[in-house]
């Protein structure tokens, strides 16, 4: 029960991403994986998976896809313009893609990273325990036109299309963070000013991190020079040599010398990753007690998202050929043409 | 767990699933010895719920699974080990693994060598001799995959970073600052000065052991010409002519 998903026209920023490679910072390798992890959990809920699946992460714009056998797909993360043979598709939803149909995913309507996940996940060669491309580390490569991916069908095609309300995270907002080992290197006044400042996402944003602009004086630590490099984690808010803030994301370095004022909670990292250029971010410091209360395991998050699913109801007047649609639903319960 | 103290070990929460044990805010051989002691002990003990142990130069980070252990459990482990560390690891123990890595220093392979040597108060030839004669240790692996921080060089090499970034050095580049040498795993911009080039690739993703160097390993640079390094690069062997000597 496998199918082949073919990428015909690839946008420039498509990579295979799963949960990445945790536990390898000792080797100098940051976890990587999906930069918006919530998008993987959304897809897992829509596709009835217990754990996150490997997806195609699409930065800014998607591509054109076909499949050799009927397959359920989930579209999550940043909403993108999408259609199957010209029929517009809801985002934050699951759909059925049939052989001989063409799925076209265009530009992001808001946010940065959209995700296409087929049932069973994207099949790609695993390197160091993950299929994720980690371009900063030289692992894997960006997807190209003509790439084909094996997908392991799970029978999720039997379910009707469903939709969810996605957590709003595509336009910046308030980011919660905790103080860290180097926060005390910043004066109380500097930390207060940091919390009172409105930052704007600069043009320098990628899977390694997001650089922020702000009006006013640079944010400097004391002492300024001679600090030894220390371990870094995703979410750290570092101040560059020019006193500009940058938030580190999935493909960050593992050790670094710039002072860090705090660490963004994982729950709010999707807002950082998805914040478009020029959108506004503000920071709110929370206690460790509050941060710990917000901790959720991935299975419980998936279960919550699954409870929020509802059937994707389409207006029958907008369905071009109702009879054909029902016929197809019947066919896919058995062996679809072109199945392997 | 949030104070910054000089001179003593301190514990700090880092994010929701990390605890940092810091021996110093500066580069300091004693702190590195203590870090390597703690990291090795944690590796041997592999306490429940520990997800990653990341030794840096003067501090070590433990990532944990909050569903299995608490921050306080991890802090307790680290506090106990920190108390043992200074006595057991005052200096770096003799290395059990010694790497001999061919390196071209100066000339086209090290465009900034003369400048760096002058800042250290040495002529280029004396600098090359000293760099090749100083037994280096892997102080930490990080920044990029497999990438070693090597040191410490004699005090005269406590030279600052450049004010401007060098836009690109090649994989295998040796760069110097702050009594340390970094051997770049991938092409990269850098604020450090390039003094040499090797054909050694510290990150070999397709190999059984993708990161061959370990914190604590000794590195000796064996002098080669720029042409010899270029030939080793052409050979395509990621070891770049390096030889590993393991003492029992």
CA distance A81 to A62: 9
Residue with tokens 């090290």: B110
% of chain A exceeding 70 in pLDDT = 90
Q: Where are the alpha helices (DSSP H) in chain A?
A: 37-46, 188-196, 269-274, 288-293, 298-307, 322-331
Q: Which two tokens stand for residue A292?
A: 């710990």
Residues B174 and B238 in one domain: yes
Tens of pLDDT along A161-182? 999 999 999 999 999 999 999 9
Q: What pLDDT does residue A320 have?
A: 52
Residues B139 and B189 in one domain: yes
Nearest to A25 among B22, B54, B66 (CB): B54
Q: What pLDDT does residue A340 have?
A: 33
Res. A313: pLDDT tops 50? yes
Nearest to A27 among B22, B59, B146 (CB): B146
Residue B187 maps to a domain: yes
Q: What pLDDT does residue A327 have?
A: 43
Res. A324: pLDDT tops 80? no
Preferred mutation among B54, B150, B152, B188 to probe A, highest tally of A CBs within 10 A: B54
For B35, phi then psi, to 5°, come to -60, -45
* Pairing verdict, β B97-105 and B136-141: unpaired
Tens of pLDDT along B181-208? 999 998 888 889 999 999 999 999 888 8
C-beta atoms of B141 and A225 within 8 A: no
Tens of pLDDT along B87-130? 554 566 788 899 999 999 999 999 999 999 999 999 999 999 99
Residues B25 and B116 in one domain: no
HSE at residue A58, side-chain half, CA atoms within 13 A, is 31
Res. A328: pLDDT tops 90? no
Tell which A residues from 145 to 184 touch B, by Cβ distance under 8 Å.
Answer: 178-184
Q: Which of A7, A241, A13, A271 is nearest to A147 (CA)?
A: A7
Residues B78 and B109 in one domain: no
- Asked if A58 and A1 count as a contact pair (C-beta separation under 8 A), the reply is no
C-beta atoms of B13 and A136 within 8 A: no
Mean pLDDT throughout A56-81? 97
Helix (H, G, I), strand (E, B) or coil at A195: helix
Residues B58 and B169 in one domain: no
Residue that finishes a domain, picked among B25, B54, B88: B88
Residue with tokens 């699933």: B17
Q: What pLDDT does residue A248 have?
A: 97
Q: What pLDDT does residue A156 have?
A: 58
Res. A330: pLDDT tops 80? no
Mean pLDDT throughout B24-44? 90
| A235–B contact, CB cutoff 8 A | yes
Residue B29 maps to a domain: yes
Q: What pLDDT does residue B206 have?
A: 83
Q: What pLDDT does residue B248 have?
A: 77
Our measurement of the distance from residue A141's CA atom to the centroid of its chain's CA atoms, rounded to an integer in Å, reads 17
- Asked if A53 and A40 count as a contact pair (C-beta separation under 8 A), the reply is yes
Residues of B in contact with A248 (CB under 8 A): none
**Neighbour count for residue A59 (Cβ, 10 Å):** 20
Mean pLDDT throughout A295-308? 95
Residue of B nearest to A178 (CA): B15
> B35: distance to nearest CA of chain A, Å?
12
The region, left, alpha or beta by phi > 0 then psi within -120 to 50, assigned to residue A155 is: left
Mean pLDDT of chain B: 91
CA distance B191 to B26: 19
Q: What pLDDT does residue A150 have?
A: 95
Task: List, as one string, the DSSP characters of A246-264.
Answer: EEE-TT--SEE-S-EEEEE
Sheet holding A63-67, edge to edge: A87-88, A80-84, A103-108, A63-67, A2-10, A148-152, A122-123
Tens of pLDDT along B133-153? 999 999 999 988 999 999 999
Nearest to A254 among B20, B22, B54 (CB): B54
CA distance A40 to A53: 7
Which CATH number do you get for residue B81? 3.30.1360.40
The region, left, alpha or beta by phi > 0 then psi within -120 to 50, assigned to residue B209 is: beta
Q: What is the 3-state secondary structure (H, E, C) of chain B?
A: CCCCCCCCCEEEECCCCEEEEECCCCCCHHHHHHHHHHHHHHHHHCCCCEEEEEECCCEEEEEECCCCCCHHHHHHHHHHHHHHHHHHCCCCCCCCEEEEEEEEECHHHCCCHHHHHHHCCCCHHHHHHHHHHCCEEEEEECCCCCCEEEECCCHHHCCCCCCCCEEEECCCEEEEECCEEEECCCCEEECCEEEEEECCCCCCCCCCCCCCCCCCCEEEEEECCHHHHHHHHHHCCCCCCCEEEECC
Res. A337: pLDDT tops 50? no
Res. A56: pLDDT tops 60? yes
Residues B108 and B147 in one domain: yes
- Asked if A255 and B140 count as a contact pair (C-beta separation under 8 A), the reply is yes
| Beta-carbon pairs below 8 A across chains A and B | 145
Q: What pLDDT does residue B87 have?
A: 57
Residue that finishes a domain, picked among B71, B88, B105: B88
> B190: distance to nearest CA of chain A, Å?
12
Residues B102 and B81 in one domain: no
Residues B242 and B127 in one domain: yes
Residues B102 and B159 in one domain: yes
Residues B135 and B195 in one domain: yes
Q: Which domain holds residue B134?
A: 97-246
| A185–B contact, CB cutoff 8 A | yes
Residues B122 and B161 in one domain: yes
Res. A131: pLDDT tops 70? yes
Q: Which two tokens stand for residue A139?
A: 């692992």
Would you call the peptide bond into A223 cis, given omega within 30 degrees of 0 as the criterion? Answer: yes
Q: What pLDDT does residue B141 have?
A: 94
Entry pTM: 0.89
Nearest to A27 among B51, B145, B186 (CB): B145
For A44, phi then psi, to 5°, come to -60, -40
Tens of pLDDT along A179-200? 999 999 999 999 999 999 999 9
C-beta atoms of B142 and A24 within 8 A: no
Residue B203 maps to a domain: yes
Tens of pLDDT along B40-91? 899 888 899 999 999 999 999 999 999 999 999 999 999 999 998 865 545 6
Q: What pLDDT does residue B200 have?
A: 97
CA distance A242 to A224: 11
Q: For residue A242, what pLDDT band results from cuts at 50, 70 and 90?
A: confident
Mean pLDDT throughout B216-245? 95
Q: Looking at the 3D structure of chain B, how many domains does it have?
A: 2
C-beta atoms of B211 and A28 within 8 A: yes
Mean pLDDT throughout A8-22? 96
Res. A146: pLDDT tops 50? yes
C-beta atoms of B144 and A136 within 8 A: yes
Domains of chain A and any CATH numbers? 2-167+309-331 (no CATH), 173-293 (2.40.100.10)
Residue B154 maps to a domain: yes
Q: Which residues contact B71 (CB under 8 A, 6 or more apart)?
A: A288, A292, B1, B13, B19, B64
Residues B21 and B49 in one domain: yes
Residue that finishes a domain, picked among B51, B67, B88: B88
Nearest to A27 among B39, B61, B141 (CB): B141
Q: What pLDDT does residue A152 have?
A: 86
Q: A66 - beta bridge partners?
A: A6
């Amino acid at each position: 029960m496998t199918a082949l998903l073919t990428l015909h026209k690839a946008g420039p920023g498509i990579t295979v991403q799963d949960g990445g490679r945790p536990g390898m910072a000792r080797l100098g390798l940051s976890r990587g994986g999906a930069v918006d992890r919530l998008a993987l959990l959304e897809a897992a809920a829509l596709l009835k998976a217990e754990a996150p699946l490997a997806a195609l992460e699409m930065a800014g714009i998607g591509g054109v896809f076909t499949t050799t056998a009927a397959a359920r797909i989930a579209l999550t993360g940043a909403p993108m313009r999408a259609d199957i043979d010209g029929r517009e598709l809801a985002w934050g939803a699951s759909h059925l893609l049939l052989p001989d149909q063409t799925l076209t995913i265009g530009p992001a309507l808001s946010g940065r990273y959209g995700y296409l996940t087929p049932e069973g996940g994207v099949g790609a060669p695993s390197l160091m325990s993950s299929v994720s491309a980690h371009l900063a580390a030289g692992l894997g490569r960006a997807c190209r036109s003509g790439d084909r991916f094996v997908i392991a069908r799970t029978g999720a095609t039997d379910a009707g299309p469903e939709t969810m309300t996605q957590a709003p995270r595509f336009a910046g907002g308030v980011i919660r963070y905790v103080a860290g080992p180097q926060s005390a290197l910043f004066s109380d006044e500097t930390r207060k000013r940091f919390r009172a400042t409105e930052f704007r996402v600069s043009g320098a944003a990628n899977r390694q991190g997001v650089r922020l602009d702000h009006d006013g004086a640079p944010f400097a630590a004391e002492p300024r020079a001679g600090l030894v490099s220390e371990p870094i984690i995703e979410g750290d808010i570092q101040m560059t040599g020019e006193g500009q803030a940058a938030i580190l994301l999935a493909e960050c370095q593992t050790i670094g010398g710039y002072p860090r004022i705090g660490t963004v909670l994982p729950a709010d990292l999707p807002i950082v990753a998805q914040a478009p250029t020029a959108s506004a971010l503000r920071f709110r410091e929370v206690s460790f007690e509050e941060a710990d209360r917000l901790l959720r395991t991935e299975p419980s998050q998936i279960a919550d998202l699954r409870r929020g699913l509802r059937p994707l109801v389409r207006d029958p007047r907008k369905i071009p050929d109702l009879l054909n649609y029902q016929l197809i639903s019947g066919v896919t319960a058995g062996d679809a043409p072109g199945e392997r | 767990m949030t104070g910054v103290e000089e001179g003593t070990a301190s514990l700090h929460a880092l994010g929701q699933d990390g605890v940092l044990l810091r021996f110093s805010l500066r580069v300091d051989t004693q702190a590195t010895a203590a870090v390597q002691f703690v990291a090795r002990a944690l590796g041997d003990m592999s306490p429940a719920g520990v997800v990653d142990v990341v030794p840096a130069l003067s501090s070590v980070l433990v990532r944990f699974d909050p569903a299995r252990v608490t921050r306080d459990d991890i802090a307790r482990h680290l506090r106990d080990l920190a108390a043992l560390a200074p006595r057991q690891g005052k200096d770096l123990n003799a290395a059990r693994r010694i790497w001999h890595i061919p390196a071209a220093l100066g000339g086209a392979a090290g465009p900034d060598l003369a400048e760096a040597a002058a800042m250290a108060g040495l002529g280029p030839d004396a600098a090359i001799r000293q760099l090749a004669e100083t037994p280096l240790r892997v102080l930490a692996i990080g920044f990029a995959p497999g990438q070693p921080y090597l040191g410490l060089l004699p005090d005269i090499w406590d030279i600052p970073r450049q004010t401007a970034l060098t836009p690109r050095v090649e994989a295998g580049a040796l760069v110097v600052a702050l009594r340390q040498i970094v051997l770049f795993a991938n092409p990269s911009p850098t604020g450090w000065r390039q003094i040499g080039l090797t054909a050694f690739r510290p990150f070999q993703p397709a190999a059984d052991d993708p990161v061959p160097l370990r914190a604590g390993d000794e590195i000796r640079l064996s002098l080669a010409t720029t042409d010899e390094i270029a030939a080793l690069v052409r050979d395509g062997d990621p070891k770049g002519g390096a030889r590993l000597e393991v003492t029992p």
